[in-house]
């Protein structure tokens, strides 16, 4: 079977949930035994989102090969249980960068380099190269942005050409659009969809399937209208309604027949979907026995997307522990020694998030201090681990001015410091310690118990490390350094032995948590938080009507 290509475009507006639709379709096809990968093409000029502020862009998702990518790749990995790579996320910046480098090398043999054919060729080769990089039955390519935007045009043109290049029957075009409800008229409106399809068609790309995002059921009249005016069959109009949980969307798409239509149209040889495990997971997250509250301390908390993978990993960890994790979002800027008690006294766990720069550090230190002194489960991720180390160095080791050189270059006790190989790096993009590294874990530790393995690999995204010249003092005063990178003897994990659960990790465990493989530290952190909640009367039993997925 040759590789089939599915292109997913979006119309009318952004934020229709294209990423979740792609991930859900991917999940359904994987459940039918197909080998699938999902790719995101982003029409912005940044070479990757690594240099973007999380308020702009949400979380930067890091792949195993160390690419800094769009957060939709996190959905693809979590839903499909696959690994993605640099090739799964391509931006306009990267495409132009590569084309301009080739031009400087003389690769275009004296030609005038133009958007068509050179930029479009480069886009096409990114799609086909991904398809050929593995034994894929299907590549789903999500085109970021909205049809009609100037910056989307080269992508639409590349897709139009590719349908011709690889054969129309090997490709499918899915268009996601909005069907708004006008409450004054009490009507769903199809006109925006018609316009969006018209715009797409003007660029030479016809949709084969229309996924209509709507707040209300689409009745027959609406479906017929969309089918007739957008040139698709009745069964090719798929309704996408709001979901209680994103993890229910695969079932909703299955009910609407999305995977069935895709398989028929692409003539794929596929079995029935086996979604038993997925169903078990969705029922677990919809019917938990208990709920607990975990504080998430960070400086971008107004924008929940900035911590997407952490939130999802907590949901996965909650499912394993039969409990719902409510997040108390705490802005680290607002936390002080004076108000920390009122903010944290009734939470069952504290998670201090990754981050960059000095803003909000005092609040994070106050949170680490409170959790340490009061026996509240603490999970420090990357900067959250560095804060736990600084707090310990200051208040237990007595190095009052201990700091990270990220915030105080002249610190007397730079307990967190730049690695020598980072010191002369000037460029910001893609120059951190990125991607998968080994971590060797000491036995008789909470971390080892959680993983059940001595050697693990986790993804990284940081410049600073625990200072190897000063770390002896942490150990002398009772902090356990329990995980190390074997090649470079870098501290990867810290624990406090006389504490119910106090773990800091230099890496980002949240990136690899999936529905089928919840990340062990998140599972264990939720377990410890649930125990803390039960021991301290903080756990709330949940009595709701049971949700059953048919
Ligand atoms: N700013 C810190 C560093 O660069 C932590 C980074 C992070 O939390 N991802 O090391």
Q: Which two three-digit tokens encode residue 329?
A: 């979002």
Calculate how far, in angstroms, residue 360's C-alpha sits from the geometric centre of ligand 1. 14
Kindly list the distances between the CA atom of residue 187 and the CA atoms of 215, 238, 490, in Å, as whole numbers in the listed order: 11, 18, 61
d(CA 387, CA 526): 21
Instruction: Tell me if residue 510 is catalytic.
Output: yes
Q: Give the Å distance between the CA of 426 and the centre of ligand 1.
A: 16
Q: What is d(CA 514, CA 78) in angstroms, rounded to the nearest whole number?
A: 4
Q: Is 329 in the pocket of ligand 1 (CB under 6 A)?
A: no
Percent of the chain residues topping a pLDDT of 90: 92
Question: Is 465 close to ligand 1, i.e. is its CB under 6 Å away?
Answer: no
- Residue 356 in contact with ligand 1 by CB distance below 6 A: yes
Q: Distance (Å, rounded) from C-alpha 324 to C-alpha 319?
A: 7
Comparing CA positions, the residue from 36, 30, 51 lying closest to residue 6 is 36
User: For position 42, what pLDDT does the model report?
Assistant: 96
* CA-based torsion, 470, 474, 476, 479: positive or negative: negative
Nearest CA to ligand 1 atom 5: 383
**DSSP per residue, 257-313:** THHHHHHHHHT--------HHHHHHHHHHHS-SEEEEEEEEES-TTSGGGGHHHHHH
* Mean per-residue pLDDT, 283-300: 96
Q: What does the pLDDT look like over 317-326, one tens digit per residue?
A: 999 999 999 9
User: Mutual orientation of helices 72-80 and 18-31 as an angle, nearest 10°?
Assistant: 20
Residue 12: predicted pLDDT: 84
- Atom 6 of ligand 1, nearest CA residue: 462
d(CA 189, CA 212): 11
- State the pLDDT at residue 191: 96
* Cβ of 383 less than 6 Å from ligand 1: yes
Q: Is 406 in the pocket of ligand 1 (CB under 6 A)?
A: yes
Determine the distance separating the centroid of ligand 1 and the alpha carbon of 320, expressed in angstroms.
29
How far is residue 548's CA from residue 131's CA, in Å, rounded to a whole number?
37
pLDDT (0 to 100) of residue 420: 76
In sequence order, the 6+-apart residues with CB closer than 8 A to the CB of 291 are 323, 324, 325, 326, 539, 540, 542
Report the sign of the C-alpha dihedral through residues 337, 338, 341, 342, in that order.
Answer: negative
Q: Ligand 1 mean position to 375 CA, how many Å?
A: 25
State the pLDDT at residue 14.
84
Give the tens place of pLDDT for each residue, 259-272.
Answer: 999 999 999 999 99
Query: Atom 3 (ligand 1): residue with closest C-alpha?
Result: 462
382 lines ligand 1 (CB under 6 A): yes
CB of 463 sitting under 6 A from ligand 1: yes
- Please tell me if the CB atom of residue 459 comes closer than 6 angstroms to any atom of ligand 1: no
Best of 51, 361, 382 for a ligand 1 pocket test (most atoms within 8 Å of beta carbon): 382
Ordered alpha helix ranges (H), 58-111 = 72-80, 92-104
Pocket test for ligand 1, best of 389, 418, 459, 462 (most atoms within 8 A of CB): 462
501 Cβ inside 6 Å of ligand 1: no
The pLDDT of residue 57 is: 84
Q: Is the CB of 67 under 6 A from ligand 1?
A: no
Ligand 1 closest atom vs CA 381: 8
The pLDDT assigned to 16 comes to 87
Instruction: Specify the pLDDT at position 411.
Output: 95
**Gap from CA of 356 to ligand 1 centroid (Å):** 5
State in Å: Cα 498 to ligand 1 middle: 27
Q: How many H helices and E strands in the chain? A: 18, 24
Distance 466 CA to ligand 1 centre (A): 11
For the cut 90, the answer to whether the pLDDT of residue 549 exceeds it is no
The angle formed by the CA atoms of residues 221, 227 and 230, to the nearest 5 degrees, is: 130
**Rounded to the nearest whole angstrom, what is the distance from the C-alpha of residue 336 to the centroid of ligand 1?**
22
Contact 294, 314 (CB under 8 A): yes
Q: Using most ligand atoms within 8 A of CB, pick from 332, 422, 423, 464 the residue to mutate for ligand 1.
A: 464
Is 461 near ligand 1, meaning CB less than 6 Å away?
A: yes
Q: What would the pLDDT profile of 329-378 be if each residue is shown by its tens digit?
A: 999 999 999 999 999 999 999 999 999 999 999 999 999 999 999 999 99
Q: How far is CA 212 from CA 16, 145, 222, 256, in A?
A: 9, 16, 10, 11
pLDDT digits (tens, 9 = 90+) for 64-75: 999 999 999 999
Please name every residue paired with 541 in a beta bridge, in sequence order, or none if there are none.
Answer: 290
Closest CA to 165 of 129, 207, 128: 128
Mean pLDDT, the chain, rounded, equals 95
Q: What are phi and psi of 401, to 5 degrees?
A: -100, 10
Verify whether ligand 1 is closer than 6 Å to residue 464 (CB atom). yes
Task: With beta carbons less than 8 A apart as the criterion, state whether 458 and 313 touch.
Answer: no
For ligand 1, what atom is nearest to the CA of residue 382? 8
Q: Is 322 exposed, middle or buried (0-12, 13-18, 19+ CB in 10 A)?
A: middle
**Mean per-residue pLDDT for 491-516?**
97
In sequence order, the β-bridge partners of residue 456 are 439
For the stretch 410-466, pLDDT in tens is 999 999 999 877 777 777 777 889 999 999 999 999 999 999 999 999 999 999 999
For ligand 1, whether the C-beta of 355 sits within 6 Å is yes
Two tokens, residue 159: 């897709």
Q: Which of 175, 316, 499, 508 is catalytic?
A: 508
Report the candidate in 75, 82, 88 with the shortest Cα–Cα distance to residue 250.
Answer: 75
Residue 59 structure tokens: 């979380």
Could you tell me the distance, in angstroms and rounded to a whole number, from the CA of residue 442 to the centre of ligand 1?
Answer: 24
How much distance in Å is there from the Cα of 509 to the middle of ligand 1?
14
Residue 505, ligand 1, Cβ within 6 A = no
Element (H, E) at 325: strand 323-331
Residue 357 CA: nearest ligand 1 atom is 1
DSSP labels, 370-393: HHHHTT--EEEETHHHHHHHHHHH
Q: What DSSP assignment string belongs to 512-535? A: G--SSS--HHHHHHHHHHHHHHHH
**Is the CB–ligand 1 distance for residue 300 below 6 Å?**
no
Res 248: pLDDT: 97
423-430 contact pairs (CB < 8 A, 24+): 425/463, 428/50, 428/51, 429/47, 429/48, 429/50, 429/51, 430/47, 430/48, 430/50, 430/68
Tens digit of pLDDT for each residue in 122-158?
A: 999 999 999 999 999 999 999 999 999 999 999 999 9
pTM over 0.85: yes
Q: What pLDDT score was predicted for residue 543?
A: 86
* Ligand 1 centroid to residue 408 C-alpha, Å: 14
Q: Report the candidate in 344, 361, 214, 309 with the shortest Cα–Cα distance to residue 507.
A: 309
Give the pLDDT of residue 544.
85
Contact 354 CB / ligand 1 (< 6 Å): yes
Closest ligand 1 atom to 406 CA = 1
The number of angstroms, rounded, from the C-alpha of 264 to the middle of its chain's C-alpha atoms is 31
Residue from 22, 230, 323, 382 carrying the catalytic annotation: 382
């Amino acid at each position: 079977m040759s590789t089939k290509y599915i292109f997913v475009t979006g119309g009318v507006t952004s934020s229709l949930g294209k990423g979740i639709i792609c991930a859900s379709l991917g999940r359904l096809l994987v459940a039918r035994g197909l080998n699938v990968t999902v790719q995101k093409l982003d029409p912005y000029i940044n070479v990757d989102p690594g240099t973007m502020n999380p308020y702009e862009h949400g979380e930067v998702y890091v792949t195993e090969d160390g690419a800094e990518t769009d957060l939709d790749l996190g959905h693809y990995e979590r839903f499909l249980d696959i690994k993605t790579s640099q090739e799964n996320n391509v931006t306009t910046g990267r495409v132009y960068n590569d084309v301009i480098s080739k031009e400087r090398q003389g690769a275009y043999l004296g030609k005038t380099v133009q958007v068509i054919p050179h930029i479009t060729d480069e886009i096409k080769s990114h799609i086909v190269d991904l398809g050929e990089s593995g034994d894929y039955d299907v590549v789903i390519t999500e085109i970021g942005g909205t049809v009609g935007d100037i910056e989307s045009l080269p992508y639409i043109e590349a897709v139009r050409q590719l349908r011709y290049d690889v054969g129309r029957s090997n490709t499918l075009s899915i268009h996601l659009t909005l069907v708004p409800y006008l409450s004054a008229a009490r009507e769903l409106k199809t006109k925006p969809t018609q316009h969006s399809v018209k715009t797409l068609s003007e660029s030479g790309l016809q949709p084969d399937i229309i996924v209509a995002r709507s707040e209300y059921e689409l009745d027959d009249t609406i479906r017929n209208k969309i089918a007739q005016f957008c040139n698709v069959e009745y069964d090719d109009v798929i309704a996408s309604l709001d979901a209680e949980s994103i993890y229910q969307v695969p079932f909703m798409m299955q009910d609407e027949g999305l995977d069935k239509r895709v398989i028929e149209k692409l003539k794929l040889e596929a079995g029935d979907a086996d979604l038993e495990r997925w169903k078990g997971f969705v029922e677990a997250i919809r019917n938990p026995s208990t709920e607990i509250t975990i504080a998430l301390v960070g400086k971008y908390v107004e924008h929940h997307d900035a911590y997407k993978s952490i939130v999802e990993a907590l949901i996965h960890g909650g499912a394993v522990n039969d409990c719902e994790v409510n997040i108390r979002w705490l802005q680290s800027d607002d936390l002080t020694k004076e108000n920390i008690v009122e903010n944290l006294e009734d939470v069952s766990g504290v998670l201090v998030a990754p981050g960059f720069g000095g803003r909000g550090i005092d609040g994070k230190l106050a949170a680490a201090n409170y959790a340490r002194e009061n026996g509240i489960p603490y999970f420090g991720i990357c900067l959250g681990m560095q804060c736990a180390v600084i707090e310990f160095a200051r208040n237990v080791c007595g190095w009052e001015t201990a700091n990270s050189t990220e915030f105080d270059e002249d610190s007397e006790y730079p307990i967190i410091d730049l690695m020598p190989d980072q010191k002369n790096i000037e460029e910001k993009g893609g120059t951190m310690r990125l991607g998968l590294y080994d971590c060797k874990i000491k036995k008789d530790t909470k971390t080892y118990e959680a993983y059940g393995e001595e050697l693990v690999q986790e993804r990284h995204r940081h410049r600073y490390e625990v200072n190897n010249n000063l770390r002896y003092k942490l150990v002398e005063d009772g902090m356990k350094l329990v995980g190390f990178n074997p090649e470079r003897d870098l501290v990867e994990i810290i624990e406090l032995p006389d504490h119910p659960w106090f773990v800091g990790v230099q890496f980002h465990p949240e990136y690899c948590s999936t529905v089928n493989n919840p990340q062990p530290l998140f599972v264990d952190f939720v377990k410890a938080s649930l125990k803390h909640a039960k021991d301290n009367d903080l756990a709330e039993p949940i009595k709701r009507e049971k949700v059953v997925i048919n």
